[in-house]
Amino acid sequence: MNYNYYMHYIKETNPEVLQERMAKALSYARGGQCDGAHHKAWSIDQIVRALLGCEEVTHEARMYNGQGYIRTEQAASRDYVEFIDEFEEPDPETGEKVYEWELGVE
């Protein structure tokens, strides 16, 4: 498979930064092994955000049983927004969205 098509999203050139991004993406991949499609979609989204240099943010969240916890996820970088916008680009003939990016657990 030719991955060169996606290279324009990777603007960072510092090897240490790229290595850190890859390690962060792998840490999110572990979370994708939880049951439920929404967990997997969230992990894929977070992996893409990690690879595209999105800044981490933390906030308080609640589990299904009401128990609170601190959740870490990533904001949207310019490169992430560009990636998602291109993914969700409407069909040129119909003007309708063909695909919609799923965020997963919110």
Domain that holds residue 46: 13-87
Give domain status of residue 20, yes or no: yes
Q: In terms of pLDDT, which residue wins out, 45 or 71?
A: 45
Residues in CB range of 19: below 8 A, 6 or more apart:
none
CB count in 10 Å sphere of residue 1: 4
Give domain status of residue 53, yes or no: yes
Give domain status of residue 8, yes or no: no
CA 34 to CA 103: how far, in whole Å? 15
SS3 assignment, position 98: coil
Give domain status of residue 100, yes or no: no
Mean pLDDT of the region 52-66 = 91
SS3 assignment, position 100: coil
Helices (H) and strands (E) in the chain, counts: 3, 2
Give domain status of residue 29, yes or no: yes
**Segment 85-106, tens digit of pLDDT:** 999 999 889 988 889 999 987 6
**Number of domains the chain contains:** 1
The structure's pTM equals 0.82
Alpha helices in the chain (DSSP H): 15-31, 37-51, 78-87
